[in-house]
Amino acid sequence: MRTLLIAFTFLLLIAPAYAADKTNSPVPVLNLPGSGTDTSAIDYSKLPVLKGQHAIVNPAALGPYPKKSDKVDLRDLRLNLHNYLIYHDGKFWCIWSDGPRIEDEPTQEIKYATSTDGLHWSKAQSVTGTPEKPNAFIARGLWIRDGKLLALAAKYQGHGAFGPPDKKHLELVAYRWEPAQDKWVFEGKLYDNAINNFPPQKLPSDNWILTRRDSRFNVSVLIGGVKALDDWQSFPVVGVKQVKGFRPDEPIFWVLPDNSLYALFRDNGGSQRLFFSTSSDEGRTWAPPVLSNFPNASSKLFSLATSHSYRVLVLNAHPAVNRRELYLAVSPDNKTFTRLAKLEIPSPAELPEAVTTLKKKFSAGIASLQYPHVIEHDGYLYIALSRGKVQTEVFRVKLSDIDELLKSNES
C-alpha cells in the first residue's frame, strides 16, 4: 500500500509536466504581470531594474601565451570562470577557475580570495596549486562538511573536462582549508567520472545530494556523503540523447516543502528555454525532463531560498542579447516565478593597465556576464559572476529592494 501511495503521489507531481509534453505546451515556470505565461510577450525594456553595489574580486590579466597582434584581445587574457561564494568564519570566500586562457586548458587551477565585507577582496591565491600538463582543475563549489570548509574541484586531463572517459580521467575531489597552516590541503576524492554543478545540499533524510555529469554529459545525482567523503550512490536523471531535442547541461534543483525535488536544466539543444523535472523520492527516480516557458540564453543558472520567504533565480533570461544581461526572478511559492528584474551591473570603474585597450569589451551591455552564484548575508544578496570569462566580480543587492518587486503589480 505504501509503495502504491508513493507512486500515486509521484504521478500527481509530474502530471502537469507530462500533460505539457503531450500538448507541446511548455510547463509554466514563469508567470509575470502583464505577459502572464506567454514569455514571448515580455517587454524586457519595461522590466524593473535592480541596482546594487559592484566590486571586482579578481581583475583581468594577461595570460602566458604570446599575443598574435600588437593589440590585446580577450583571447590573450587568463580565464576567470566558475565562481562560487560562501560566508564562513567571519568572512566571505570566493573561488573560481583560473587558467592560461579561455577555456579549460591544461594547467588551469583554482584560485581563491577572501573579504570581510564582500566588496573589498584580498589578492588571489591558489587552492590547488598549478598542475602540470596535461592536468587541469575546474572550480565546483564551497562546502561546509562536518564543520570543515571544503573547496570542490573537477580534475581532468587535456583540453576540457568532457570527452572519452579513458582520456579525460575525470574525477571530483576536495581540498580542505587548514586555518592553523593558512592554506588548502588535499582532502580526498568524492567520485570518479564526475563533475558537479554546485555544492551538495542536505536532504530531509540527512543525506547529501549533488548533481553529477559524466564526461559524456549524462546527468545523474549522487546521494550520500555522510559516512565518508567518498560514500555516494549514483542515480540516473537523464541521458544526453534520452529526450529528443534536449541536450542537458548544468542542472539545479531544490527541496520543496513536501520534500519533493524540483529541477531546472540548461538546454544546449537550441530551445533557449529551461527544462523542468521533479522527483518525489529524494532524487532516486526522476520524471523525464520537459520544456518550460522560462527563457534562458543557454547559460548556467542558480537559485537560492532567501530568509524573506521567497526564492530567487539568477540567469541570462533574455536570449536575444545572449549573456550580455543578468536577470533575477522571484518565486513566493518555490515553484512559479512571478517577478523578473534586470540586474543593473555597471562597467568596471577601472581596468588593469595591460587591458585598458579592451575597455569597450568590458562595458555594460557589451560584455558577457555569466555563471552566477548567490549567497545571502546580513540583508543582502551577493552575486558572484564572470565578465567575459576573464574577470571575477561580485554584485550586491538589498533584499528590501527585491521585497518591493513582489509588492508591485506592474511588470
CATH number at residue 192: 2.120.10.10
Alpha-carbon distance 168 to 162, whole Å? 7
SS3 383: strand
Give a yes or no: residue 64 inside a domain: yes
Pairwise CA distance, residues 299 & 324, whole Å: 11
Q: Is 78 exposed, middle or buried (0-12, 13-18, 19+ CB in 10 A)?
A: buried
Residue 409 pLDDT: 64
Residues 6+ apart with CB under 8 A from 404: none
Mean pLDDT by 10 residues, the chain (411 residues): 39 39 78 96 97 98 89 94 98 98 97 98 98 98 98 98 97 98 98 97 96 96 98 97 94 95 97 97 97 97 98 98 98 98 96 92 97 98 98 98 86 40
The answer to pTM > 0.85 is yes
In a domain, 81, yes or no: yes
Our CA angle for 252, 223, 238, nearest 5°, is: 50
The confidence score (pLDDT) of residue 230 equals: 98
Tell me if 355 is assigned to some domain.
yes
Q: 36 lies in a domain?
A: no
Give domain status of residue 15, yes or no: no
CA-to-CA distance for 290 and 275, rounded, in angstroms? 5
> How many domains does the structure of the chain reveal?
1
> Is residue 16, in this structure, part of any structural domain at all?
no
For 209, the domain range is 49-408
In a domain, 324, yes or no: yes
The reply to whether 208 falls in a domain is: yes
State how far the Cα of 356 lies from the Cα of 268, in Å rounded to an integer.
33
Omega of the bond prior to 134 within 30 degrees of 0, cis?
A: yes
